[in-house]
Amino acid sequence: MQPLPPLMTETHSSSPPTQCVVLAGGLGTRMHPRTQTVPKALLPVGGVPFVDHQLRWLAAHGVREVVFSVGYLGDMIEDHVGNGDSFGLPVRYVHEGKELRGTAGALRLALDLGVLDEHFLLTYGDSYLPVNFAEVAQAFAASRLPALMTVFRNEGRWDTSNVAFDSACKRVILYDKSRTLRPVHEFEYIDYGLSALRRETIEQEVPSGVVYDLAQVFHRLSLRGELAGFEVFQRFYEIGSPAGLAELEAQLAGV
């Protein structure tokens, strides 16, 4: 294996990002029939729309602005959340329309519309992540790398592990969603669902106007030794499946 390249020394801003992009444009097919009339972000969790739980967590853990990237039934999310005043967070929206562009394509659209900060956090509209977002942002700023991925030692428990992580140098040695490559370190970790990126990384890695998956970007960055890693020690929760929703309800209820 080639040695990792040194940390970037370019004159990037080193202040931690406080903007968080939430990708919430998916169709939610695994949650049919409930998501045929309601987007996943508005599914009730403990009697409260999921997005309320998510935004309250973000506001309490270092996020100062949210950009929702919405598509399917996105107007319903905007109608419910509004400008974010009730959550103590300014909220803006990027509408993909009916033709979804993929996770990276959605970020490129946000960049082209001028709403991305110089560096930003990224999570998903069906993910509840009990981690301090401010700490992740600070780790990203300190890394001076093009992107950071939070990782969790999964060992195949909650989903297929897809990350080889070197905890000593705090880098993702290989991110391979398809697991076609054999890493020097075993695939013991999984993408936790919270990332941080530079705006210029999206500009350089993602073409405009095409469907593009963020997994492709993270894969290339990991091969170049340019993907920082931040290890998280508490499991993630998601409402993308009936079982996941039930687990989160139990967690929030303290069961």
Span 70-81, pLDDT tens digits: 988 899 999 999
Residues with Cβ within 8 Å of 99's Cβ and at least 6 positions away in sequence, in order, are none
Check residue 254 and give its pLDDT: 76
Question: What end-to-end distance do the CA atoms of the chain give, in Å?
Answer: 46
Query: What whole-number distance in Å separates Cα of residue 109 and Cα of residue 185?
Result: 35
Say which residue the tokens 């919270």 belong to: 194
Span 179-218, pLDDT tens digits: 666 654 578 889 999 999 999 999 999 999 999 999 999 9
**pTM of structure:** 0.89
Check residue 161 and give its pLDDT: 85
pLDDT reading at 133 higher than 50:
yes
pLDDT reading at 9 higher than 50:
no
Q: Average model confidence (pLDDT) for the chain? A: 88
